[in-house]
């Protein structure tokens, strides 16, 4: 049985944090994640898209109980002139949903199917990050159960 998706993972304990408008030049990502690592913040997802006019947003996820620690580490680094950002947005009302599967690589339809399944339920995708064997999205936490169940059905997995 060649199922491209072998499971759906989910977590409601992660917060999404975004540094709005950081400079797009070498050293900025290191200057952001160095202090977070030193402060013992357990970073999971990291998402950075292309820059426009030399600036871009940097988003990461971390446990909701580490948001204050992360904010302090970043604000301290900003006050010390090591990093600069126009805003720091923390969103603790998210859930991370991932479709996992070894066969994903050649099944670019998996992403389309996952996104279509969420869309059919009226669930907006806030953030996307993927690797060959896993597609992760952040959605509003209130939709977590609905999303997980809909994806189990769409990919014909055992009932959660």
Q: Which of 8, 17, 19, 22 binds ligand THR (CB under 6 A)?
A: 22
Binding letters toward a copy of itself, positions 129-158, x by CB under 8 A: xxxxxxxx----------------------
Q: Does 48 bind ligand THR (CB under 6 A)?
A: yes
Q: Does 115 bind a copy of itself (CB under 8 A)?
A: yes
Query: How is 82-129 classified by DSSP, letter by letter?
Result: S---SEEEEE-SEEEEEEE-GGGGG-THHHHHHHHHHHHTTPPP-EEE
Residues 40-69 binding a copy of itself (CB under 8 A) are: 40-52, 56-59
Q: Does 160 bind a copy of itself (CB under 8 A)?
A: no
In sign, the C-alpha dihedral spanning 142, 120, 135, 51 is: negative
Phi-psi region of 156 (alpha: psi -120 to 50; beta: other; left: phi over 0): left
Q: Does 128 bind a copy of itself (CB under 8 A)?
A: yes
């Amino acid at each position: 049985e060649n199922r491209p998706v072998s499971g759906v993972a989910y977590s409601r304990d992660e917060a999404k944090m975004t540094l709005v408008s950081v400079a797009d030049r070498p050293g900025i990502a290191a200057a952001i994640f160095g202090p977070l690592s030193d402060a013992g913040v357990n970073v999971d997802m990291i998402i950075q898209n292309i820059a426009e006019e030399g600036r871009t947003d940097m988003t990461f996820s971390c446990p909701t109980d580490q948001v204050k620690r992360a904010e302090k580490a970043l604000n301290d680094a900003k006050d010390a002139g090591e990093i600069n950002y126009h805003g720091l947005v923390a969103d603790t009302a998210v859930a991370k949903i991932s479709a996992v599967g070894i066969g994903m690589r050649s099944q670019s339809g998996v992403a389309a199917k996952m996104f279509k399944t969420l869309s059919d339920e009226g669930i907006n995708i806030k953030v996307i990050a993927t690797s060959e064997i896993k597609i992760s999205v952040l959605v509003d936490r209130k939709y977590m159960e609905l999303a997980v169940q809909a994806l189990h059905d769409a990919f014909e997995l055992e009932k959660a």
